[in-house]
Amino acid sequence: MLHTFLLIWLAVQTFQPVTAYNLVIDTQRKGINSYFQSLRKDYEHLLEGYEIPTVSKKRFLGKIELTEITVQNVAVESTTDIVAETDHYLKVSSCCCP
């Protein structure tokens, strides 16, 4: 009985560091993903309604002016794969409506 208890106790003690390591990695992944999600929301909030200045181009047949262009429906995507020593990128896309 004591021998069985000691074997079970030894097995539990052996697997605890592995479990703790997995929990740390899982917590770090959640923390990094949460950070990038909040960063994405900040970018969306700051870029929504951003006005692009007047653009004038001289063409062969005349002059074209684009005015009052406002960025709407801003979407920001980020890389969420957690790999050691990699960069994370944000991709900003939007629907430009005149």
Domain ranges of the chain: 2-97
Rounded Cα distance, 38 and 86, in Å: 19
Instruction: Express each pLDDT in 12-67 by its tens digit.
Output: 555 545 555 555 555 555 666 676 667 667 767 766 666 555 555 555 666 656 55
Global pTM reads 0.28
pLDDT tier, 89 (very low <50, low <70, confident <90, very high otherwise): low
How does residue 98 score in pLDDT terms, banded at 50, 70 and 90?
very low
- For 5, residues 6+ apart whose C-beta sits below 8 A from its C-beta are none
The band of 96, judged by pLDDT with boundaries at 50, 70 and 90, is: very low
